[in-house]
Amino acid sequence: MSEAEWSAASRRRFLLPLALAQFICSFAGSNMNVMINDISKDLDTTVQGVQLAITLFLLIMAILMIPGSKLTDRWGRKRCFLGGLTLYGIGAVLSALSPGLGVLILGNSVLEGVGTALLIPPVYILTTMAFKDLTSRARAFGVISGLGGVGAATGPLIGGLITTGISWRAAFVFQAAVVGAIILLSRRMADPIPPDPTRAFDLVGAVLSGVGLFFLVFGILFADTNMALLAVFVAIGAAFVIGFFLYIRSRERAGKEPLLSTGLFRNRVSNLGLVTQNVQWLLLMGVSFVVAVFLQTVRGYNAIETGLVFTAATVGILLSSFGAERFAKRRTQKTLITGGFLTAVAGIVLVVGLVRAWDSVLAFLPGLFVFGLGSGFMLTPSVNLVQSSFPENLQGEISGLSRSISNLGSSLGTAIAGTILVSDLASGNRSYSLAMIVLAAIGLIGLGAAILLPSKAHGRSGELTPAASHLGS
């Protein structure tokens, strides 16, 4: 069926399971933040233990997202999507039944993380292939990215409601139920291109990149206890990442297909867009983790009280995300991303200032609302900018790279801000303020990348100018 023949109902049926998949994966990345006290007590672990599980989940997604995107060509996009959902559902059920931290890490961090890495690339690849027109594609990406932002923002609220009303274990049952619904909704989904089982897969490249990212993030987790170990881990990680780039370059020169084409990094618009994606998710997950831990361990709030505080951020993201299409018709991608970073950083500064000056829980609300508003403004434009910078034959690779960069930002946000906070929880406001100030400073890096974006690289409504089309060819 051509795009012109699609009815509005057909579009909704096609997008619904894809958008729900992005929602539940983003939800999983933030909903555990409000369960920290409950999980710690029930499984006889610590805040650091739960932080490890959350960071591992996000990190495994980042490590495997690029290999997962390459496997879509070999195994098929629909098969990877359904296989990833199945693996995710098994992990969610195992997490709900976990007797200790080890099983929770196996179910949530490993199985859900691997499942997400398999199912998310097809979401963006299938959308790109189904919506040929850049305006309709931008609209579709807006729905998917918007629900991703909503999932991350509502994770604490929904997780808090379920945890307080039933149990933290029921939150994983909720995830499994949503995954089951997505599988049912995906039954009639068709793969536009048949899989190619003979397609080469670069296993060495996957190992080099995965090991490199693993050591880089885990080095940060050890920063509060052992600076020497931090230096060793970061050095090992950097060596593997450099080795990965040298390896894929040599593989390309030998005429073999690498895990990732080096040509993807020669597009200035895309490179800057990837930086903004990384920082956006670093801020979103970092702020969520820091505020949630502070409220529970320092202020003594329970899961539902913590979740309700995050309603302010949820409302902000909802308002700006669902207005993305209207904003895109009036402003360029660069303007939306730049304005989003300015607003989000202002929100973080407002949260820090009001909380230090005012002991009431109401002190969190204005800043979190402003932060959510800014986050919603920039999530969709960044994704559309990166995806639209490349032709259809490179959509699999850029989708995997884009999702990997975003999830790496999420894991870094939890690792960096969480490590600063957890290292000195006894100091209360001081460690909280320091973690948030660091996040604001990182937000300025994202703002710098947004300012460097070419003003006319992408037109309004997601349309490419000739210059951008040339870059993507």
User: CA 248, 391, 200, 15: dihedral to nearest 10 degrees?
Assistant: 120
Residue among 411, 403, 423 at smallest CA distance from 109: 411
Paired residues of 458 in beta bridges: 464
Distance of CA 384 to the CA centre of its chain: 15
Amino acid letter for position 180: G
The CATH class of the 10-189+259-471 domain is mainly alpha
Q: How distant, in Å, are the alpha carbons of 130, 144, 387 from that of 138? A: 12, 10, 10
Confidence of residue 224 (pLDDT cuts 50, 70, 90): low
Q: What is the pLDDT of residue 69?
A: 82
Secondary element (H or E) of residue 453: none
- Residue found under tokens 């629909």: 78
CA pseudo-torsion sign 69, 74, 78, 79: negative
Q: What is the pLDDT of residue 240?
A: 94
Residues 6+ apart with CB under 8 A from 388: 134, 137, 138, 458, 462, 464, 468, 472
Q: What is the pLDDT of residue 207?
A: 92
Contact of 137 with 463, CB cutoff 8 Å: no
Residues 6+ apart with CB under 8 A from 87: 111, 112, 114, 115, 118
Question: Which range (118-132, 178-192, 203-217) has the least confidence?
Answer: 118-132
- Residue found under tokens 């894929």: 248
Q: What is the pLDDT of residue 399?
A: 75
Contact of 137 with 131, CB cutoff 8 Å: yes
d(CA 199, CA 258): 11
d(CA 322, CA 315): 11
d(CA 424, CA 408): 25
Contact of 100 with 43, CB cutoff 8 Å: yes
Q: What is the pLDDT of residue 2?
A: 47
What is residue 464's three-state secondary structure? strand
> Looking at per-residue confidence, does 154 or 469 come out higher?
154
- Residue found under tokens 């990182």: 442
What are residue 302's phi and psi, to 5 degrees?
Answer: -90, -175
Is the pLDDT assigned to residue 55 strictly greater than 50? yes
Q: How distant, in Å, are the alpha carbons of 274, 299, 454 from that of 268? A: 10, 45, 9
d(CA 239, CA 208): 9
Domain ranges of the chain: 10-189+259-471, 203-258
Amino acid letter for position 114: V
Residue among 442, 121, 469, 464 at smallest CA distance from 287: 442
Is the pLDDT assigned to residue 3 strictly greater than 60? no
Strand blocks (E) in 184-270:
none
Please give the DSSP secondary-structure letter assigned to residue 260. S
Amino acid letter for position 428: G
Confidence of residue 62 (pLDDT cuts 50, 70, 90): confident
What is residue 60's three-state secondary structure? helix
Q: What is the pLDDT of residue 107?
A: 95
Contact of 333 with 270, CB cutoff 8 Å: no
**Residues 382-399: pLDDT tens digits?**
877 887 788 767 776 787
d(CA 120, CA 403): 8
**Residues 295-340: pLDDT tens digits?**
888 888 888 888 888 888 888 887 887 666 677 677 788 888 999 9
Q: What is the pLDDT of residue 466?
A: 27
What is residue 458's three-state secondary structure? strand
- C-alpha neighbours within 13 Å on the C-beta side of residue 253: 6
Q: How distant, in Å, are the alpha carbons of 53, 63, 212, 292, 359 from that of 113? A: 11, 9, 17, 22, 38
Is the pLDDT assigned to residue 467 strictly greater than 60? no
**Residues 80-114: pLDDT tens digits?**
999 999 999 999 999 999 999 999 999 999 999 99
Find the mean pLDDT for residues 135-140: 75
The pTM score is 0.80
d(CA 86, CA 273): 31
- Mean of per-residue pLDDT scores for the chain: 83
What sections of 186-226 are H helices per DSSP? 203-221
